[in-house]
Amino acid sequence: MVSGLFTRAYRSFLKHPLPLLLFLLGAMVRILYITSIPPGLNQDEASIGYDAYAILHYGIDRNGVHLPIHLIAWGSGQNALYAYLSMPFILLFGLTPLSVRALSLVMGLLGMIVFYLIVRRLSASPGAGAIAMFFIAINPWHIMMSRWALESNLFPTMILIAVYCLLRSFTNPGWIYAFTGMLALSLYAYGTAYFFVPLFALGTAILLLYSKVLRLRTLVWNLAGFAVIALPILLFVIINRYAMQEIATPLFTVPKLTMPRVEEISSVFGGRLWQAAADNFSAFGKLMLSGSDGLPWNSISPYGYAYPVALPFALIGFIVLVHAWWTRRRESAGAGVLLLWFLIAVLMALITSVNINRINIIFYPFIILVCAGFGWIAGKVKGVAILAVAVFGIMFVLFSNAYFREFPERIGPAFYDSFGEAVQYASEHSTGEIYVTNNVNMPYIYVLFYEQMNPHDFLKSVVYANPGEAFQRVSSFGRYKFDDMRTVPAGAAYIFANNATPPAASTEYTVKRFANYSVLLTNEGTGGLPAPQGTAIAEFMNGGFEEGAAGWSFTAGTGVADNKPFAGSKLAYLDPGADTLVSQVFTAPAGDYRLSVMVSTGGSGGKIGIRTAGKVLAETELPVTEEYQQVTLPAVTLEQGMQAEVYITGGNGWINIDEVRVER
């Protein structure tokens, strides 16, 4: 079937080269830098990628379930179809961000072709194919969806392919079985399919019987085929709705979750059905009007899911398709199918807590409505259509610029950019225990993913902090411990965020810094940096300069920058000159205090010290080193209520300072 789609598209492209050029443009923006934009991996990408790897090589997922028809994942579940379809890519390329995202990319490219063929089949206009390829190639939702491995992204393209098969069946009845098979298979793609697919199948059957396109005998055979394919997922829903035991067979397992995800995202099972439906639909209306759900990985403002100028064209297209179906119902059954798809997607907003991922089934028919509206306008007022193409083209260029230049830095923290590098570095350079910050959503899955752990070994040692809950957090497995550390023991490693205060260490240590995360390695011998000891005092603030100039005084030639911090995203700098000064005055309780700083310099002469009432208590000259080095002063004694000043003065070269610490 897929080869037939490509053959049909290829022949059409030869006759009409403009759609081919637009397809190549769309392919380029979907393929370019796919391994690094979005940077890092979302936890759901790592989850489905590792489970696919585990099932492929060991026959079980990370929860020990043999060939599950639905993944348990965190506890509340993750749809399994994406994992199974990703296995060929993982087998070819290994477990990498590329192999996990490859399926989304392939489905995105395939979706562009199928979308083009559907619009060509629905419209007799010679320019319909070019219009279709233009709007799908530049669509922001489709571009972003094609570039990362969220399992829900599979669902709308499967329905798109199913609808194409249905339209083909109008002239070749055998295609109706492909439609039924694809529709039933989509139930394994995402939880919202449990609502959409039965209603769409029922509505399509009624529509086709009414239009006399479908015979009753054919309908019965398709119902039987649909029931066979859908039976395992139906059992899954029943088992998890009524807290029954899992079903294990040699071919597959129907697992029991800690909490079904369908209940998490749907208000059907809630006690406030009507109020929830009203709230959901209100949120849906706001999303469709604004173009955004507020989640940075789903849309980029102000471009939204389809650019702000698309909505009027969609409204016109809706009227055009309704008129076409109403006036020529038997001949326009295809338009009726598209309207049915759109309207059921709208109804789904009543039972779903709305965001772009959960309502993504609406966007393909929405873009088809945009194409229909644009085609109608182009036939009436050609000048308006040319102007519209120019506006959409400009917005596409602006969106692409924002996506490839601004989006990576903004989305990097949400996708835990460089966390995988830190995990690999810590695992390779430490033979002892590895402590991992909890300032990451489900950090254990990244260890499983990047270290490609044997799931049997994981199951033998895993300890959950909250077993049985919807999102089970792992506290430890093997030599990996997941907790935020204040002091790292000897012979261990600790992975922490660059914007967090580095922990103390019980012995000498080294720090390896990556884009957003660092690895602190402690050892038993010499050669590391001296370990900071004690407890930081609250009166001394903003030692990492993450809050800019807060708490500090700066003379001319000094300031806060972000060019090369030791940790976090900011540092303080001093230009060459003995008159440059960065300082902070604080009041401390009585006690002994030690001052330390991470410093890199371009020349000699700089100094750091601590003084009170003009009297220097401790001072040292900064070393000449372009790589950060820790400088620690001898302990000083401060009396109760005494005001002390930490100061850094300039020298013969530039000075960068970071992580200034005053510890008791």
**Is 386 in contact with 380 (CB distance < 8 Å)?**
no
Q: State pLDDT tens for residues 450-483.
A: 999 999 999 999 999 999 998 999 999 999 999 9
In the numeric block, the tokens 């080269």 are attached to 17
What would the two tokens of residue 167 be? 């339209």
Long-range contacts of 171-175 (CB under 8 A, 24+ apart): 173/218
Which range, 129-143, 341-355, 642-656, is most confident? 129-143
Q: Is 90 exceeded by the pLDDT of residue 14?
A: no
Please give the average per-residue pLDDT across 594-611, as a whole number: 91
User: Cα-atom radius of gyration of the chain, to the nearest Å?
Assistant: 30
**What does the alpha-carbon distance between residue 17 and residue 114 come to, in Å, rounded to a whole number?**
17
Whether pLDDT at 271 is above 80: no
The whole-number pLDDT of residue 217 equals: 86
Q: Could you tell me which residues are beta bridge partners of residue 18?
A: none
Mean pLDDT along residues 75-93: 96
3-class DSSP state of 272:
coil
Six token digits for residue 284: 């849906």
Residue range 530-554, pLDDT digits in tens: 444 445 555 688 888 988 888 899 9
**Phi then psi dihedrals of residue 313, to 5 deg:** -65, -35
Q: Which residues pair with 497 in a beta bridge?
A: 517
Report yes or no: 452 and 95 within 8 Å, Cβ to Cβ.
yes
Residue pLDDT, tens place only, 395-429:
999 999 999 999 999 999 999 999 999 999 999 99
Bridge partners (DSSP) of residue 621 are: 607
Rounded to an integer, what distance in angstroms lies between the CA atom of residue 542 and that of residue 661? 9
- Whether pLDDT at 496 is above 70: yes
Q: CA 476, CA 459: separation in Å to the nearest integer? A: 11
Which residues are paired to 572 by β-bridges? 560, 657
Q: What average pLDDT does this structure show over 579-606? A: 89
Q: In this predicted structure, what is the pLDDT of residue 642?
A: 83
pLDDT, position 141: 98
**Nearest CA to 82 among 71, 74, 72?**
71
pLDDT of residue 3: 64
From 4-8, 306-310, 647-651, the region with the lowest mean pLDDT: 4-8
Contacts 24+ apart (CB under 8 A), 381-389: 388/309, 388/313, 389/134
Say yes or no to pLDDT of 556 above 60: yes
Q: How many H helices and E strands in the chain?
A: 21, 24
